[in-house]
Amino acid sequence: MKICINCQYHEKKGVQISPTQMGVGIFCKHPDCCEPVTGDPLPCNMARTADFCTLKGLKFKAIEKKVEPDKASVIQLAK
């Protein structure tokens, strides 16, 4: 399943819930998923229900995990 938190384009940002409370929102920073008037990133739940990314996750790109070589498996030969 394509979940926004596993997408390369997700970004956590602080949002103001009420005049005295702050919260954290997850926004899509894909260039095509921006608010049409101001260009601000859309919340992921809005981008997924609208025509931007849709429920199928059309703009989804998985986070690439860096695989480091196993240093224990390297054999060095002495001269």
For 1-31, what is each residue's pLDDT tens digit?
Answer: 899 999 999 999 999 989 999 999 999 999 8
Tokens of 37: 């008037």
Q: pTM higher than 0.85 for the full model?
A: no
**pLDDT one-digit tens code per residue, 29-66:** 998 888 889 989 999 999 999 889 999 999 999 988 77
Start-to-end C-alpha separation, the chain: 52
Tokens of 39: 């260009």
* Residue at token pair 């809005």: 46
Whether the CB-CB separation of 34 and 40 falls below 8 Å is answered with yes
